[in-house]
C-alpha cells in the first residue's frame, strides 16, 4: 500500500512539472517591491540602453526574454519595448545579453542548442 501511494505521488509531481514546462513564456517581467505603478508609456519612445543613464530615475523592475530560433532582432527589440512600456518605463537598461549552449541527450545521440538570454531593468525618469 505504501509503495502504491509513493508511485501516485511521484506521478502527480511529474505531471505537474510537465505542465509547468508547457507554460514557459519566452518573455517575462516582475516589479520591484514598494515601487509605485505608472501608466503605460509609448513603446516607440522606450530607449534600449547598454548602461545606466546619468539622468535621475527610479528602477521599476526586471524583465527578460529568451528569443526563440527564427525571431528577428527587430521583433526582439519591439517585444522588449512593448513590455517595458506596459510597465510604465521610459527606458530599459540591458544588463545581460549572452549566448549559451544547452545540451539535450537522447538514447540515439545528442543535440546542442545555442540560445540567447537578454535581461534588463525597466526605469522611469524623474
Of 88, 91, 89, the closest CA to residue 38 belongs to 88
Q: What is the reported pTM? A: 0.73
Strands 91-106 and 47-49: parallel
Convert the pLDDT of each residue in 33-53 to its tens digit: 999 999 999 999 999 999 999
Q: Write the CB contacts of 16 (distance below 8 Å, at least 6 apart in sequence).
A: none
Q: What percent of the chain stands above pLDDT 90? A: 62
Q: Mean pLDDT across the chain, nearest whole number?
A: 85
Of 39, 42, 64, the closest CA to residue 115 belongs to 64
Convert the pLDDT of each residue in 75-124 to its tens digit: 999 999 999 999 999 999 999 999 888 777 777 777 777 789 999 999 99
What is the structure's pLDDT at 107?
76
What is the structure's pLDDT at 24?
55
Distances (CA, A) of 31 to 34, 61, 122: 9, 4, 9
Distances (CA, A) of 72 to 24, 29, 61, 63: 20, 21, 25, 19
Amino acid at each position: 500500500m505504501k509503495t502504491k501511494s509513493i508511485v501516485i505521488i511521484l506521478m502527480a509531481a511529474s505531471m505537474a512539472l510537465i505542465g509547468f514546462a508547457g507554460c514557459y513564456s519566452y518573455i517575462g517581467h516582475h516589479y520591484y517591491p514598494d515601487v509605485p505603478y505608472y501608466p503605460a508609456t509609448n513603446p516607440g519612445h522606450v530607449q534600449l540602453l547598454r548602461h545606466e543613464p546619468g539622468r535621475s530615475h527610479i528602477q521599476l523592475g526586471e524583465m527578460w526574454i529568451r528569443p526563440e530560433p527564427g525571431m528577428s532582432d527587430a521583433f526582439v527589440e519591439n517585444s522588449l519595448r512593448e513590455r517595458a512600456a506596459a510597465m510604465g518605463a521610459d527606458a530599459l537598461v540591458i544588463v545581460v545579453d549572452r549566448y549559451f549552449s544547452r545540451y539535450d541527450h537522447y538514447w540515439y545521440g545528442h543535440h546542442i542548442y545555442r540560445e540567447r538570454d537578454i535581461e534588463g531593468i525597466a526605469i522611469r525618469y524623474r
